[in-house]
Structures are given as C-alpha cells and as structure tokens.
Amino acid sequence: MSEPVLPPIPPQAPLLNSRFWPWLMRSLLRLSGWRLLGELPDVPKVIIIGAPHSSYWDGVWGLMMKIGLGININVMIKREVLDGPLGIILRPIGLIPINRSAALNVVGQMVERFHTHEKMWLGITPEGTRKKVQQWKSGFLRIANEARVPIQPVFIDYPTKTFTLGPLIHASDDPEADMASIRALFRPYRGKHRNTE
C-alpha cells in the first residue's frame, strides 16, 4: 500500500467548502510525486511559514497541497488583485486581500483578523521573496505574538519532492532568539534553486 500524499485533517482545522477541488488536487499531487509529511496541528488558529521559497513553483505545489487538504489556509495578496476578475476564482480558495495603503499596517490587519475569526490558518513565506536574503521578515513573529497563535514550520525540499511539517512553535518575548532558532530548523532542506542559511 502506497504512502498517502497528504496527512489526515485534524478536527479543529477550518475547512474549504468544496469536495471536487481537493479531490482533483490530490490526484494531481499523486501524479507529480509531491507529498506532505508529518502531522497537521489540531488547533483552530495557526500561522504556517514555508521556506526556502526560491521559485514560482513553490506557490504552485503549495497551493495544490492547501487545496488538496481541503483546509481553508488563508494567503495574503494585494487587494487590487482580488478586486479584478481573478477575485472570483481566488477568494473561494482562501486568498485574502491586504490593503497596503490603510492606516492599519499588515501586521495589524492580520492580528485583527485572527481576533475576529473563530478559526483561521494563515500561510506566509517569511523570506518575502524568491531571492536569497540575509534576514527574514519578522511580520509572522509579530502577528503570532500579538494574536497569541502558534507557528507551524513547513520545510520545502525539492530533492525529495516533500513539504515536511515541523514542530509547533510558540513565539516568546525574544523575537531575535525565536528567529534564529526557527531559521536553524530550515537549514537541512533545499528549494528548487537554493537552501536557507
């Protein structure tokens, strides 16, 4: 019996309102050879961080896994994109608009969203770009700390065609130490074009 492409859905996870799209994405993932390893957290709210992010393909495989799971994992996108025709397709699969010109900053918008939703899973790429960076953006730590939600690392590894779930992390009052320990977890894994340091 072959290993499942995706782990089982925990009871507290927020679900997508579709059966067809998850079935289709699981089928495509099975054909591609990509898998999600590990155990999903049984929590109603969490921030999921994925790295290394070195290719557009990371988003393709990640989106397929997100939909394949049947879990409503929110991903931030510029409001202008969702205001156009693409919004009809992208909103139902969990992409949420960010108003970059608003007085309330992006961290504040996400913290407020966590406070007003009973269940919310939020996906973030902490590098913020596909290029190699010396420092990760600290927004995910600030959101986690202010909203009091845990962080779920997801390690992208192209040689093994896997996304691997790491240990659930709780932000402390020392963001520099948190960032150093979290980044260290990602070092053994390699993206399409590079690893993390």
Which structural domain, as residue segments, surrounds residue 128?
Answer: 20-186
Structure tokens at 85: 């025709």
Q: What angle do CA 16, 18, 24 make, to 5 degrees?
A: 110
Residue-level pLDDT at 2:
58
Examine residue 4 and state whether it is found in any structural domain, yes or no: no
The whole-number pLDDT of residue 104 equals: 55
CB-CB neighbours of 27 under 10 Å: 12
Residue 192: inside a domain? no
In a domain, 48, yes or no: yes
CA-to-CA distance for 95 and 71, rounded, in angstroms? 12
Nearest-CA neighbor of 147 among 124, 177, 176? 124
Q: Is residue 170 part of a domain?
A: yes
pTM, to two decimals: 0.89
In a domain, 193, yes or no: no
At position 84, the amino acid (one-letter code) is G
The pLDDT of residue 4 is 75
If one counts the domains in the chain, the total is 1
Residue 175 lies in a domain: yes
- Per-residue pLDDT of 14-41, as tens digits, reads 998 888 889 999 999 999 999 999 999 9
Each residue's pLDDT tens digit, 47-103: 999 999 888 899 889 989 999 999 999 987 767 666 777 666 666 666 777 766 654
Structure tokens at 2: 């072959």
The confidence score (pLDDT) of residue 116 equals 96
* Domain annotation covers residue 150: yes
In a domain, 144, yes or no: yes
